[in-house]
Chains A and B, each alone.
Chain A
Amino acid sequence: MNQELYFKKLGKALGCAANKKAGVLEDLREDVREALSQGESWEQVMARMGTPEELAGELNENMGVEGKASGKSSVWKIVLAVAGGVLLLLLLAGVLVYRSLPKSYEMGTSGLFDPKTVQASAEEIVELLDAGEFEALQERSVEKMKPTFTEETIAAVREEALGELGAFEKFAGYLAAEVKQGGEIFAMTEVTALYEERSVIYRITFDEDMKLAGIYMR
């Protein structure tokens, strides 16, 4: 680093008032001139004084002033910091929203699910529900879902949401897709089942291990 750059950096990093700063820099320049005229090399002088930042840090500390990390004024630094913070929050929020939005793909895209197995499993879940096989449902569910499958909750939900169904007649429709949400991939199905009194659409979701991860009926 040459002398000019050294003093430029030093001036920027000094925290004292402008008029005082000029005096400090003048003293140091004279010091360097003196050292050079007495046979020291610029490299030796620099090695002794330290980097501009180190020297400024020492001077600031010994003069009891706050240092400045850069040439920008502190007001601008605050403005920049706030703007930076806001931008970061917006970005983070954007990423979170993006990650939480489900992205759907055609069933079979990831290779994690076999479309036929998924359909068979979804219909099986409906049959188990109809049969009241709650233990079997619990076994096939992810941990979080297990408490849902008790006779009380399921019976209550079905009764309240759907009313009287009557006997099961047949499966009348099926849709499936892969859904990516929060870094995980799920198989989402919609199974339409016809009963004597009405039809019910079941939305049944499996995780990668074909464990039942969600169920919704209307």
Chain B
Amino acid sequence: MNPKYERQLKKGVLEILVLRLLAEEEKYGYQMLNELRDKSRSMFAVKEGTLYPILYRLEEDGLVASRWREPKGKEISRKYYAITAQGREALEELRKLWFDFEEQVSEILGKGSV
């Protein structure tokens, strides 16, 4: 299979996943990369080149906000991304859409082998 199809399919859900990760607490880029990889058993092991543009788009749309947090003690200065109120609304809508989406797609594809 052309890996393009797989990439294309995964790409569409990255925004929801990023919003969901940020719904727990504010996070920095590297942390999100690791969480995405670990929580999805590597299915969403995305690279910086994919993650950051998503964060920028979400920020432009007002769904997330970023800030540099002053380092505490030995910590290094980091840029944190946090979900906004508008982002929470969008996440809720997208979550509903996803479950509906998943149900309909599975309905068509069928659970058994083709």
A residues whose Cβ falls under 8 Å from a Cβ of B? 20, 23-24, 26-28, 30-31, 33-35, 37-38, 48-50, 54-59, 62-63
Contacts and interface: CB of A to CB of B under 8 A. Distances in A.
Contacts, number: 59
Contacts of B78: 30, 34
24 contacts: A23-B56, A24-B56, A26-B79, A27-B52, A27-B55, A27-B79, A28-B48, A30-B28, A30-B29, A30-B76, A30-B77, A30-B78, A31-B29, A31-B33, A34-B31, A48-B47, A55-B47, A58-B49, A58-B50, A59-B48, A59-B49, A59-B53, A62-B53, A63-B56
Interface centre among A23, A31, A37, by most chain B C-beta atoms within 10 angstroms, is: A31
B101 interface: no
Contacts of B50: 58, 62
B48 A55 contact: yes
Most buried by B among A38, A50, A57, A58: A58
Nearest to B75: A37
Interface of B: 28-31, 33, 47-50, 52-57, 76-79
A58 B28 contact: no
Contacts of B56: 20, 23-24, 63
